[in-house]
């Protein structure tokens, strides 16, 4: 699945926030190249060729290969954070909000698995300043998930002795979906999201009868 196919499901043009069109094409090509070959093994010539452009044209829009990775990573993290935050701020019990947050976060990492692999696993290729910006976004992701778990513990819904450690485990579980998910696999993004929501509710000892029912809402 290409990055264009991944993002077409939401009815919006892939990477619509990136302009002009040439810059968007180069960014989409970079995502595919980084996901397939890894950041360090990808050259600017590889990226330009995938976009149907000359290497010189790339430098009109991006000064370096790292600038491309930084923009991909920032946009991807912001989108993933928005998905999680929207679910976290929803109505309902902590268990219902955690189920929705995990389901939504997992669906994003499955449906956008090519982009998500680059976003989540190429962080170390960024320079110090860019890396610090992305780490700050990751901390916001952590805070959103941790907040729901803390609410559940305070309300007596969850049995979690180590909230920080459990939050890390939950997010790691969700993010890793991008590494293995395949469109020709046995489950759809929705099905994986429902499964993981059920697993996470079991992890936190949620006191409810049908975890999977809430995850499917």
On the CB side of 6, CA atoms within 13 Å amount to 22
pTM for the model stands at 0.85
Q: Are 194 and 105 in contact (CB under 8 A)?
A: no
**Alpha-carbon distances, residue 116 vs 3, 80, 122, 175 (angstroms):** 10, 9, 10, 8
pLDDT in tens, 85-100: 998 899 999 999 999 9
Q: Are 44 and 58 in contact (CB under 8 A)?
A: yes
Residue 5 has pLDDT above 50, yes or no: no
pLDDT of residue 16: 85
pLDDT of residue 15: 86
CA-derived radius of gyration, the chain: 18
Q: How far apart are CA 106 and CA 167, in angstroms?
A: 14
pLDDT in tens, 173-209: 999 999 999 999 999 999 999 999 999 999 999 975 4
Biggest CA-to-CA distance, the chain: 60
Tokens 């669906």: give the residue: 107
Q: How far apart are CA 127 and CA 103, in angstroms?
A: 32
First to last CA, the chain: 27
């Amino acid at each position: 699945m290409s990055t264009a196919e991944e993002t077409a499901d939401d009815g919006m043009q892939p990477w619509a926030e990136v302009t002009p069109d040439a810059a968007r094409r180069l960014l989409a090509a970079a995502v595919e190249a980084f996901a397939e070959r890894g950041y360090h093994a990808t050259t600017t010539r590889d990226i330009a060729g995938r976009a149907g452009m000359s290497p010189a044209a790339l430098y009109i829009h991006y000064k370096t290969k790292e600038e491309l990775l930084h923009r991909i990573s920032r946009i991807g993290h912001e989108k993933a954070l928005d998905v999680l935050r929207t679910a976290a701020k929803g109505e309902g019990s902590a268990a219902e909000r955690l189920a929705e947050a995990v389901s939504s976060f997992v669906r994003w990492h499955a449906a956008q698995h090519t982009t998500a692999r680059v976003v989540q696993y190429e962080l170390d290729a960024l320079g110090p300043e860019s890396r610090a910006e992305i780490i700050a976004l990751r901390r916001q992701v952590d805070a959103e998930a941790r907040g729901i778990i803390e609410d559940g513990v305070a309300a007596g819904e969850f049995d979690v002795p180590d909230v920080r450690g459990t939050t890390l485990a939950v997010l790691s579980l969700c993010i890793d979906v991008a590494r293995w998910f395949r469109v020709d696999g046995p489950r759809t993004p929705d099905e994986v999201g429902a499964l993981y929501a059920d697993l996470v509710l079991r992890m936190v000892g949620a006191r409810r009868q049908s975890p999977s029912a809430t995850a499917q809402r």
